[in-house]
Chains A and B, each alone.
Chain A
Amino acid sequence: AQSVAQPEDQVNVAEGNPLTVKCTYSVSGNPYLFWYVQYPNRGLQFLLKYITGDNLVKGSYGFEAEFNKSQTSFHLKKPSALVSDSALYFCAVRARDDKIIFGKGTRLHILP
C-alpha cells in the first residue's frame, strides 16, 4: 500500500538550533516527494521537492530535505530555526495515476 508517515505530531526546537521534521514513505517505483507548509488560517504552500539526482534538495525559506532511498525517508531540515518557522508541515508523495498522498502533518514549535 502506498503511504506517507510523519511519526511526530509535534516538534519543539529552540530558536537558533537546527531542526528536523521526519517523513518516511512507501510507494512503488521512483518517488516524487514534496514538503508543504501551512501557516495559521492559510492554505498550504510548496517548500521543496525531490525528483531525482542529488539527495539533498534546497527549498524556500532556508529549508532543505534529505532523500534516503535505503531508508525510504525524506526528512526536512533547517540549520538554524526561526520563530517564524512555527507552522504545520506536510510531507507528500506522488503515487501512481498522479494520486497525491499526504502525511498527517507535524506541528513545529520554535521556542524563543
Chain B
Amino acid sequence: EAQVTQNPRYLITVTGKKLTVTCSQNMNHEYMSWYRQDPGLGLRQIYYSMNVEVTDKGDVPEGYKVSRKEKRNFPLILESPSPNQTSLYFCASKVAGGPYEQYFGPGTRLTVT
C-alpha cells in the first residue's frame, strides 16, 4: 500500500530537549515536505526537499532542521524545542515538479511544555 508514515504520532516533551520526528514514504517520490498546522493559520510549509541532499526553506523554517540522506526518509529535527513549536505536524511526498498532488502522513501532535 502506498503510504507516508510518521513517528511518533503523539509526543509530549520539555523545552530544550532535542527531538526528531521521522517521515518515510514508499512511493519513490523525489519531493518531500514538512508542514505545521495551527488553528486559524492553516497549513504552513516548514521545509521541503526536491531530491536527495537537496533541501529548501519553506515559510516557517526557524527552529527546525531537516536532512535528506535517502530518498524515502525526511526527518524533522527540533534541536531545542520551545512551547511555540507546539503544533500538529504533517509530512507529505509527491513526484517532483509538475502538477502532482501530495500524499500526506497521518500527522504528529507535538506538545512542548
Contact = CB atoms under 8 A, between A and B. Distances in A.
Nearest to B50: A98
Interface stretch (B12-20, B65-73, B77-85, B104-112): B104-112
Contacts of B97: 98
Interface in B84-106: 90, 92, 96-99, 101-106
Interface residues of A, number: 24
A46 B105 contact: no
B56 interface: yes
Contact of B104 (A44, A99, A101, A103): A44
Contact of B102 (A41, A42, A100, A105): A100
A34 B43 contact: no
A49 B45 contact: no
Nearest to B31: A98
Contacts of B74: none
Nearest to A47: B101
Interface string B1-44: 00010000000000000000000000000010101000011111
A99 B98 CA distance: 11
A44 B58 CA distance: 18
A54 interface: no
A43 B90 contact: yes
Interface of A: 6, 9, 32, 34, 36, 41-46, 49, 51, 90, 94, 97-105
A43 B41 contact: no
Nearest to A50: B99
Given A102-B35, A104-B42, 19 more contacts: A9-B40, A34-B101, A34-B102, A41-B107, A42-B107, A43-B104, A43-B107, A44-B102, A46-B102, A51-B99, A94-B99, A98-B31, A98-B48, A100-B33, A100-B45, A102-B42, A102-B44, A104-B40, A105-B42
A44 B99 contact: no
Name, among A45, A100, A101, A104, the residue most crowded by chain B CB atoms within 10 Å (CB to CB). Answer: A100
